[in-house]
Structure 1
Amino acid sequence: MTSPNHGPLAGKVALVTGASSGIGEAAALCLAQAGASVALSARRADRLAGLVAAIEAAGGKALAIPGDMMIEDDAKRAVEETVTALGAIDILINSAGVMQAGGIENCDTDLYRRVIDINLMGTVYTCAAAVPHMLKQGEGDIITISSLAGRKGGPMTSAYSASKHAANSFTDGIRQELGGKNIRVTTLMPGATETEVGDNIVDPNWRTAIKAHVGKEGAVKPRDIGEAIVFILSMPRRTNISEITVRPTTDTSA
């Protein structure tokens, strides 16, 4: 691991939500390797503890803040504890998310609500809590981990696609609000990436299909997304990579 005193993000403080697995976990590891102090939030406290131990063993600095980003008070607490314990919040990575499958026939509206509450409102809650600190500091970076599903709809995945469309629009909207105040905002849309995103899908057929999709040969690795995040953050402050897509090389769709 790069020394925290010499990496491109040395001296920066990052909060990563959804940090217990997948892209969030990889983002935390890559940020720490790049020199940032990292606060980690997710529901699974045991996994966060293991990630903190791994980062610290490699010479980095990390803090676990267990919580559920669909609960506004948890999102606010994650931001406030980051600032209290680490002195600032320079970087916010919105990686907490969930996927479910279900159609409009016999629609389970609770399923829709949960997907939107986490994927959209969880992002709103953390941004609303973090931006005042960034404005006071005079700079900041926000990256929302969205999905290529945010560019199109699909049968049985309309809740997920709708939540990601909304997250994309929200993220670009605040980019336009905050760019003149030295806060850079980025929408990062991964294609098929090896994560646990399909593990908790209720419908067994769609759970199998999504797990096969993200586990297929040539799928993007979570660390690839983590390295893309460091690349975005390492650009000169005059440059805001406002939107970036990372997909498997074999994905040649439009």
Structure 2
Amino acid sequence: MSKPLEGKVALVTGASSGIGEAAALCLAEAGAKVAMSARRAERLAGLVARIEAEGGTALAIPGDMTVEDDARRAVAETVERLGRIDILINSAGIMEAGGIENCDTAIYRRVIDINLMGTVYTCAAAVPHMLEQGEGDIITISSLAGRKGGPMTSAYSASKHAVNFMTDGMRQELGGRNVRVTTLMPGATETEVGDNISDPNWRAAIQAHVAKEGAVKPRDIGEAIVFILAMPRRTNISEISIRPTIDTSA
């Protein structure tokens, strides 16, 4: 089996489920050593066992990416225990309902803290190492919701719109020094993204949306991540959208 990422070291945030979990597995299959961070330590331990059972190298670093010290520690432990950090996959994120009428502003803060600031924290910690190494790759998992708003998606869409533009700003800032940066925007993907939404009606709607026939699978996103990383270094796929084939609006 081809291992295009042999010798690389990756850190994946939000790795305990969904896209983050699939990304970790696909990176390991492609030959990378994979450090993984998320709040659910027991799930990370299970994922380490799966990767090691297939002959890979994996490291669990439990933590909350909304806490800057945790985010910086995840990067520092990756470098300390695996020797470097070549790849950062920012997959930690949440979805919440977020209209403006009678809104709970704490929900807005929570969504922005995880989706935007968690990404800022890990990038700020990883970039100095990548620049010192002379190369690196950062892929931020955003969403097609970052391209359009809706009456109940204000918080989520605003956070992902901010992530999109912050990520592209990093691409322009770092590209000339051989650090490639990519925004990856999935459409409806079969994950647990809706399970923790506090509004019961919106929770049910999102759960149905991501479980519908033809929804993208997390592994599809993981394989796309490997494809992006395996491109020649002269090539930076700066932005990619992945939608279900049968639903062009998703």
TM range (shorter): over 0.9
| CA drift at 1:103 | 1.4
Which of the residues 190, 194, 198 maps onto 1:202? 198
List structure 1 runs of 4+ shifted beyond 4 angstroms. Answer: none
Q: Work out the CA distance in 2 between the residues paired with 1:42 and 1:78.
A: 10
Alignment of structure 1 residues 7-22 onto 2, 5 Å: 7-22=3-18
The residue number in structure 1 matching 2:242 is: 246
Q: What is the identity percentage for the equivalent residue pairs of Structure 1 and Structure 2?
A: 85
1:115 aligns with 2:111: yes
The residue number in structure 1 matching 2:127 is: 131
Give the length in aligned residue pairs: 250
Q: Secondary structure at the match of 1:14?
A: strand
Code of the aligned partner of 2:7: G
Normalized against structure 1, the TM-score is what?
Answer: 0.97
Q: Secondary structure at the match of 1:11?
A: coil
Q: Work out the CA distance in 2 between the residues paired with 1:240 and 1:35.
A: 21
The residue number in structure 2 matching 1:221 is: 217
Code of the aligned partner of 1:249: T
Which of the residues 158, 162, 165 maps onto 1:162? 158
Q: Work out the CA distance in 1 between the residues paired with 2:101 and 2:41.
A: 37
Normalized against structure 2, the TM-score is what?
Answer: 0.99
Q: Secondary structure at the match of 2:192?
A: coil
Q: Work out the CA distance in 2 between the residues paired with 1:253 and 1:76.
A: 37
The residue number in structure 2 matching 1:178 is: 174
Which of the residues 59, 63, 68 maps onto 1:67? 63
Q: Work out the CA distance in 2 between the residues paired with 1:67 and 1:253.
A: 35
Q: Can you list the C-alpha shifts for 1:172-207, whole angstroms capped at 9, x where unaligned?
A: 000000000000000000000000000000000000
The residue number in structure 1 matching 2:36 is: 40
The residue number in structure 2 matching 1:30 is: 26
Q: Can you list the C-alpha shifts for 1:99-127, whole angstroms capped at 9, x where unaligned?
A: 00031111100000000000000000000
Q: Considering only aligned residues, what root-mean-square deviation do their CA atoms show, in Å?
A: 0.9
Structure 2 residues without counterparts, runs of 5 or longer: none
The residue number in structure 2 matching 1:49 is: 45
| CA drift at 1:22 | 0.1
Contact 2:10 2:86 in 1 (8 A): yes
Q: Can you list the C-alpha shifts for 1:121-152, whole angstroms capped at 9, x where unaligned?
A: 00000000000000000000000000000001
